[in-house]
């Protein structure tokens, strides 16, 4: 597990703005936009981490970022596919958490 | 039927644009779009709107940050605000839905005027009204109801844009519905 600080404060503010605005728009927008906005925010977060040039785990962040970017607009044209993608993504992220825990305990 | 229907062709060929080039929009073009807004039909000719026109990239980026439905980086953004002082002067009731229809007619006039000038637009309502108020320092009597992104469109990917449109038979019932 890397403890390198990679997100700039200005990127954090941009993501905070996006998340709080999305919480507001979700008061009136279709429910399915909720997962879509969270996927977008997750992608922005991954993008911000990559901008900070992480010395470790870059491959993971690149993978997750391109997967989020490639799949987010399926909300418009392939809703079942989008739902499937949203359900599957946490499994991959949890796999990364597990991998890092295992690395730590075996170190 | 004659194909000499420039208005119909404009309506047909306008598409929501979400990807803009860096090319600026001239002040003349922007003024023409705003002039078109003045000619929009308005219920009771009440003229409820104030417009905020943004050309500054930093100000537009600020609005984008609190507008989840804004995907592009347009060189121009026009915010249509409904003016509560004008609503009060015109004695408009709370549930008068024509106020939102007025926003729509105005927006459509602006989109078609922009389209005629070769500019792309994206109608936008997925934004935090509170966020827009804060970012623009709007006075309390102005409510941001709609935003129009304006700029030069990047070419759409093949087949992109607009999706499929319904046929008139799918959306039209000819005559009154029969009584039971
Ligand atoms: C009232 C209204 C609000 C809209 N809000 C957004 C928005 O927040 N973001 C966006 O990208 N598109 C928005 N659109 C654009 C629609 O998604 C678009 O018009 C629709 O998909 C049909 O595509 P077309 O305009 O290219 O025919 C909005 C359209 C309208 C009329």
Complex confidence, ipTM: 0.82
Question: Is B161 a residue whose pLDDT tops 70?
Answer: no
* Per-residue pLDDT at A6: 87
Domain ranges, ordered by start, for chain A: 9-106
User: Percentage of residues in chain B with pLDDT exceeding 90?
Assistant: 89
Q: What is the mean pLDDT of chain B?
A: 93
The dihedrals phi and psi of B15, each to the nearest 5 degrees, come to -135, 150
Give the length of chain B: 180
Q: Which domains does chain B have, with CATH numbers?
A: 6-155 (3.40.109.10)
- Report d(CA B68, CA A102) in Å as an integer: 37
Residue range B121-160, pLDDT digits in tens? 999 999 999 999 999 999 999 999 999 999 999 987 665 6
Residue range B95-128, pLDDT digits in tens? 899 999 999 999 999 999 999 999 999 999 999 9
Of A20, A25, A77, the CB nearest to B126: A25
* Per-residue pLDDT at A54: 87
| Residue identifier of the C-alpha nearest atom 16 of ligand 1 | B16
CA distance B92 to chain A (A): 23
* Per-residue pLDDT at B159: 59
Name every protein residue with a CB atom under 6 angstroms from any ligand 1 atom: B 15-16, 18, 69, 71, 122-126, 161-162
Handedness of CA B9, B15, B21, B25 (dihedral sign): positive
Residue range B168-177, pLDDT digits in tens? 999 999 999 9
B138 Cα: distance to centroid of ligand 1 (angstroms): 24
- Report d(CA A37, CA A28) in Å as an integer: 13
- Report d(CA A41, CA A27) in Å as an integer: 17
């Amino acid at each position: 597990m890397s403890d390198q600080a990679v997100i700039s404060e200005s990127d954090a503010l941009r993501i905070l703005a996006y998340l709080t605005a999305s919480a507001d728009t979700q008061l009136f927008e279709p429910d399915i936009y909720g997962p879509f906005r969270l996927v977008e925010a997750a992608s922005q977060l991954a993008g911000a981490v990559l901008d900070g040039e992480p010395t470790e785990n870059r491959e993971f962040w690149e993978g997750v970022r391109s997967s989020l970017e490639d799949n987010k607009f399926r909300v418009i044209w392939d809703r079942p596919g989008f739902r499937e993608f949203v359900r599957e993504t946490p499994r991959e992220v949890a796999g990364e958490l597990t991998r890092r825990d295992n690395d730590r305990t075996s170190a | 039927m004659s194909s000499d229907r420039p208005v119909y062709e404009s309506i047909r060929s306008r598409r929501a644009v979400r990807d803009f080039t860096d090319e600026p929009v001239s002040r003349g073009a922007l003024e023409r779009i705003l002039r078109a807004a003045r000619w929009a039909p308005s219920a009771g000719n009440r003229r409820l709107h104030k417009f905020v026109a943004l050309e500054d990239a930093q100000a537009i980026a600020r609005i984008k940050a609190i507008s989840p439905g804004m995907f592009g980086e347009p060189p121009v953004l026009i915010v249509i605000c409904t003016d509560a002082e004008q609503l009060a002067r015109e004695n408009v009731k709370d549930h008068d839905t024509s106020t939102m229809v007025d926003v729509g007619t105005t927006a459509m006039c602006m989109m078609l005027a922009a389209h005629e000038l070769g500019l792309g637009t994206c109608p936008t309502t997925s934004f935090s009204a509170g966020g827009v108020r804060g970012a623009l320092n709007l006075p309390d009597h102005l409510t941001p109801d709609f935003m129009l992104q304006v700029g030069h469109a990047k070419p759409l990917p093949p087949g992109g844009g607009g999706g499929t449109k319904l046929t008139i038979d799918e959306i039209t019932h000819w005559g009154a519905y029969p009584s039971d």
